[in-house]
Chain A
Amino acid sequence: MAFDIRTRVVEVLVDDFGVPRDEISFTAPYDQLSFDSLMLLELALILKAESGVALSEKEIGDAATLDGFVDVFLQRSAA
């Protein structure tokens, strides 16, 4: 798809949330990342506004890692 989700996730985390790029890991559990409790929800809402793909709070939480987040996003966008 034209919308490169992984690249966009990094852009949002770095540019909008100020997360240091070298602290972003797609495989680490959320709680090992320097994210606050709303950041992933806001990330999902930004992606929804840009792509139309909506993720629920539960789906985001269950994903556990950014890799999981991307997988759920791709599943939703393919549905």
Chain B
Amino acid sequence: MRVVGRGVRGRGRTRAGDAFRQGVWSTHRRRSGTGALVSRGPETGRRRSSVIAGVGASVPSAMLTNNDLATWLETDDQWIRSRTGVVERRISAPERATSDLAVEAGAQALESAGTADVDVVVLATTTPDRPCPATAPEVAAALGLGTVPAFDLAAVCSGFLYALSVAAGYIESGRAHTVLVIAADTFSTILDRDDRATMSVFGDGAGAVLLRAGFSNEPGAVGHVDLGSDGSLRDLITVPAGGSRQRGLGVAAAEDDMYFRMEGRTVFMHAVERMTSSAQSVLARGGLTVADIDRFVGHQANIRILRAVALQLGLDVDRVVVNLDQVGNTAAASIPLALRDGHARGEIRAGERVLLSAFGGGATWGSTILIWPELPPQQGEAAVTKSDRGDSNGI
């Protein structure tokens, strides 16, 4: 079944890049002064802001295809593709932990930025190496960042946007000059291998951005991050056991409760509603409309959620960046991983206005808008190359 352009074609929107070529973004494309990584001095009319200085990502080398899953699950490639959009995902080897992916993504972001000057490390993850201690200090140490503050942040699939907001707060308040934001998850460690609904969707991965102090009107500046949560939805996306609510100490948890569970249909409706309203909120706050958006990088939950959000926003589907077909839903990592892949493939170009939006367990959600900065070409291979995917974004 081909599902191109459902319901949102032909609305007369300009294609990505038209506005750019017409000079709308000219103020955003201007290189910042000498090109120095960090601008510390005040400039009239410009607000201190966090600015993306580098981006990185990492996925395991081992691939798990839909056909692989069909060897033990009652499913097939077409069933999974049509319901999720996922074709294959990457799975970590047993000896590899979330921190290994996080270190690789963080190192790539530092290389992209051309600096190892980091004041704070924030790691968004739902699958830390162990319940205690946090994984971020180990990641910071492995990156050679010394004794900088480093902590984990848990907001499930919205984790990157939550971490981005916290990091931006550090920078905007002047408490830090550079913050390394890493989002990494190894969901294969919490999935029930007999649960078709989750096994077919999730994969392992990590993404990272280095934020530096800069100004609100320069390329890479992170705009207001809209965040929200609704704890009444806590059971929609959950691992019931292992925390203080359902201890394992002295009483063995039911095996089923140790796995990740998700109520897909209900999550679908909430995700579409919250991602849409949050995106509309940051658009309104910025005095923008959806026609001003060149690229939409949504949480790569499921192609049908991305398609539905695009429909609700009135966004052309050819502006939606998609890499979930090749990496699946990588939880917190999905947005920075998609940013990095989109950048590596040339789908996200300097000067383009990019809308980010996510929904995750909690429930949590968030959105922000930024102008993509000029970054060096990625040194490493993109998780997904253009030639792997053809020209379609799968929508």
Q: What is A's interface to B at a CB cutoff of 8 Å?
A: 12, 16-18, 36-38, 41-42, 45-46, 48-50, 56-57
- A26–B315 alpha-carbon span in the complex (Å): 31
Known contacts: A16-B7, A45-B311, A49-B311. The answer to whether A57 contacts B265 by CB under 8 A is: yes
Contact status B6-A41, CB under 8 Å:
no
The tally of CB-CB contacts under 8 A between chains A and B is 43
- A38–B269 alpha-carbon span in the complex (Å): 9
Chain B contact patch, size range: 20 to 34
Determine the residue in chain B with the shortest Cβ distance to A49. B311
Partner of A18, one of B1, B264, B269, B308: B1
Known contacts: A18-B1, A42-B304, A49-B311. The answer to whether A57 contacts B7 by CB under 8 A is: no
Known contacts: A42-B304, A46-B7, A57-B269. The answer to whether A37 contacts B264 by CB under 8 A is: yes
Determine the residue in chain B with the shortest Cβ distance to A47. B7
Contacts of A38 in B (CB 8 A): 83, 264-265, 268, 304
Known contacts: A16-B3, A18-B1, A50-B7. The answer to whether A45 contacts B265 by CB under 8 A is: no
Give B148 Cβ to nearest chain A Cβ, in Å: 44
A-B contact pairs, 11 of them (CB 8 A): A16-B3, A16-B7, A18-B1, A36-B82, A37-B265, A38-B83, A38-B264, A38-B265, A42-B307, A56-B269, A57-B266
* B32 interface residue (CB < 8 Å to A): no
Interface centre among B1, B6, B7, B304 (most CB of A within 10 A): B7
- A38–B266 alpha-carbon span in the complex (Å): 10
Contacts of B67 in A (CB 8 A): none
Contact status B7-A41, CB under 8 Å:
no
Contact status B265-A46, CB under 8 Å:
no
Give A13 Cβ to nearest chain B Cβ, in Å: 12
- A51–B372 alpha-carbon span in the complex (Å): 35
Give B198 Cβ to nearest chain A Cβ, in Å: 14
Partner of A46, one of B6, B83, B264: B6
Contact status A17-B1, CB under 8 Å:
yes
Contact status B1-A42, CB under 8 Å:
no
* B86 interface residue (CB < 8 Å to A): no
- A57–B265 alpha-carbon span in the complex (Å): 8
Determine the residue in chain A with the shortest Cβ distance to B314. A49
Give A18 Cβ to nearest chain B Cβ, in Å: 4
Contact status B308-A45, CB under 8 Å:
yes
Contacts of B164 in A (CB 8 A): none
Q: 7 more A-B contacts (CB under 8 A) besides A38-B264, A49-B311, A49-B314? A: A16-B7, A18-B1, A36-B82, A38-B268, A45-B312, A46-B6, A50-B7
- Digitize B265-306: 1 where CB-to-A-CB distance is under 8 Å, 0 elsewhere: 110110010000000000000000000000000000000100
